[in-house]
Structures are given as C-alpha cells and as structure tokens.
Amino acid sequence: MHSISSVAIVGGTHGNELTGIHLVNNLANDNYSLPDSLDYRFLIANPDAVATNTRFIDVDLNRQFALDNLTYQEHSLYELNLAQIINRKIGPKDNPHTDLVIDIHNTTSNMGPTLIVLESSDFYRNMSGYLKQQMPSCNILVEDEVSYLEHPYLCTCGKYGVMLELGAQPQGVSRADVYAQSVEMVQHILKFVELHNQQETPEFKGFEAYRLLDVVQFPLSKEEKLLGLIHPALQDQDFKPLKPGQPMFSLFDGSTVEYEGEGTVYPHFINEAAYKASAVAFATADKFIW
C-alpha cells in the first residue's frame, strides 16, 4: 500500500454547513499544528453557496463527481462547472494527484462525530480502527454498496477519500462543541496517516462499525403530501437499534407507523433537513464488527 504525501482538507461543499468552513480557514491560517511530513491543500469548495449561506446554488455539489459529469463541457448549472474545476485542482478522479481528501460536513441529525468511508479496504479499516481507538465517541459508517469510483462525492477525487459528518448542528449555525470534534477527528486522521507512512499502524481488535443498507421515505399521500413526522421515540436516536414493531412515524391522523423489517437496523441521518426535499426520513445500517 503506497504512502500518503498529499492531503486536501475541504470545507464548504455545502455552503450552510459551517464547521468545515471554520476549520479549513483556521488550518489555512496556521492556527493548528499539522504533521510537517505532508503536503496540504485547503479548499472552500463552494464559495458562492458559502457567501449566501445556502446548501448549494443550483444543484448539490457533493453529488456531481460521477465520472460522466467530469468530462469537460460547459454547463448552465453552477455546481456542475464547479465540480469540473475542483476535479482539475485535486483530481482528476480517474488518476488523482491528491492522495487523501478529507471532506468535512455537518448534519442536522444526532449522529455525533461520524467517519464515512467508501471502501472496506485495509487502509480504511486501519484508519477507522485508529480513530475509534483514539476517539471512542466516533461512529464509523461504511458505504461500500458501489465501488469507490462509482460514488458521486467530492472526496472521490483523491486516491483515498473520506467524509466527516458532525451533528446535530442546524444549517447555517456554528456550535463550539461540534467544531472541537472536527478538530479532534482531523488531527487523529492525520496522525494515522503519519503512522501509516512509517509502517507503524497499530494492530486493532474488532471494533463496531455500521454498513449502509437503505433509505426510508416519509409516508406520503398520492398527491405526495407529507402524512406524518418522525415518531418521538425514534427522533435523535441515530445509530440506536430499531427493531420490528417499534414506531417510526407519527401520522397526522393520530396513528403510528411501525418498522416492519425482518431484523434490527440502525437508523442514521434521522430527520436530516437537507433530505426533506426528497422525502427521505432516514437511512438504515447494519452493525458489524470490523
């Protein structure tokens, strides 16, 4: 496994997720000590969305990095053009000159500090194990339902790429405790990279992680009007077990919709504000020992 020499740390992929914006600006201003064996690039990904404190201008930037979108051509949509510019800066995705991309996000759901990895290779397992060892409150979420290059996320412009999700934090708002978690996560990840390069990565026993399963939609009428809300018993219970027969939704008519799956799942991104437009109530995961 090759060593990591270049690292891009990205904030502002969504312009109303402020933690990464603060952190990238502080890192760029040398407000934190970083391992000096690495070359860094600090990037505010979507400056126009940051300036207007909105998630995006035209379309979600973090869904525009599919390989087909990165073939050069002029687009009328701001984020499609921006994705191509970013890909040229830190990619290109099909042959990257950046070894590791760390993309920092906030979520309005109660996920706490969460590391999202897009492959289950030894590199990501070792990074996850080291982070979990150093920061036990961190959740590890594996989204390997498709191959790394098939994901449309900004972080896939690097040879390796991860996303940090930190919450709960409202859109357009900053929280000092959430910001402190982001600083700690990035510092641990960079320390892991140092150990990886020195071939001194410690051995890890199995640790708890979660693997993405599916998404669950809000109940809608035939006219696609919302019929209910997340049930109070499920609200804020990210990465807690949801068992068959337990409540999921509290409908406006006073009834309850229960989970009818065959086994226990672990919801996350519960009531994420950014997903309301697509009527996504939460995602589910399986818990496993990695």
Q: Report whether 114 contacts 138 (CB < 8 A).
A: yes
d(CA 102, CA 94): 18
Q: Report whether 18 contacts 50 (CB < 8 A).
A: no
Q: How many CB atoms lie within 10 A of CB 245?
A: 9
The label of the residue with tokens 């990591």 reads 4
d(CA 272, CA 290): 27
Residues in the chain: 290
CA angle, 138 as apex, 113 and 283 as ends, to 5°? 65
Residue 106 vs residues 67, 110, 230: alpha-carbon distances, Å: 25, 10, 20
Name the nearest CA neighbour of 149 among 42, 69, 40, 268.
69
CA angle, 120 as apex, 185 and 152 as ends, to 5°? 80
Distance of CA 224 to the CA centre of its chain: 28
- In the residue annotation, 165 being an active-site residue is answered as yes
Q: Which of 74, 165, 200, 258 is catalytic?
A: 165
Structure token digits, residue 199: 């071939």
Catalytic residues: 165
